[in-house]
Amino acid sequence: MNPQAPSIALFAVLFGMVIVWFVLIKLLFKRLEVAHPQKYEAMGRPSLFLRNNIATGWATMKFLFAREHRSLNDSYLSKLSDAMLVFLAIYLLLFFGLSYFVSVPHAA
């Protein structure tokens, strides 16, 4: 077996997860825009590309990590936000796993 195979596979998984993350972010922004326009406005009307800046990115992460969805009493938004937190934690674990495989020399 190729000693680089695990890191190549992990890279492919991480790349796929980035695409899934974009879909999840799009769902989050759409739900906020449609169902909770006041909160969406307060966050700076975030979007994937047009209004993507440090302020809206920070507001989005704050929304997720501070669990601000709870005050909105929206079960769909709560499930989506909680799933995004779990997804992000898994992504970070895999990312650091890939970093380990790439940085530590392995015996052939």
- pLDDT digit string, tens, across residues 12-31: 999 999 999 999 999 999 99
Q: What is the pTM of this model?
A: 0.86
pLDDT at 52: 83
Domains: count for the chain: 1
Least-confidence region, from 3-7, 56-60, 64-68 = 3-7
Q: Note down the domain range covering 97.
A: 52-108
Q: Does 45 reside within a domain?
A: no
pLDDT at 64: 97
Interacting residues of 30 by C-beta distance below 8 A, sequence separation 6+: none
pLDDT at 3: 66
The larger pLDDT score, comparing residue 97 to residue 103, is at 97
Q: Does 12 reside within a domain?
A: no
Q: Does 34 reside within a domain?
A: no
Q: Does 71 reside within a domain?
A: yes
Give the dihedral sign, CA 63/65/70/74. Answer: positive
Q: Does 98 reside within a domain?
A: yes
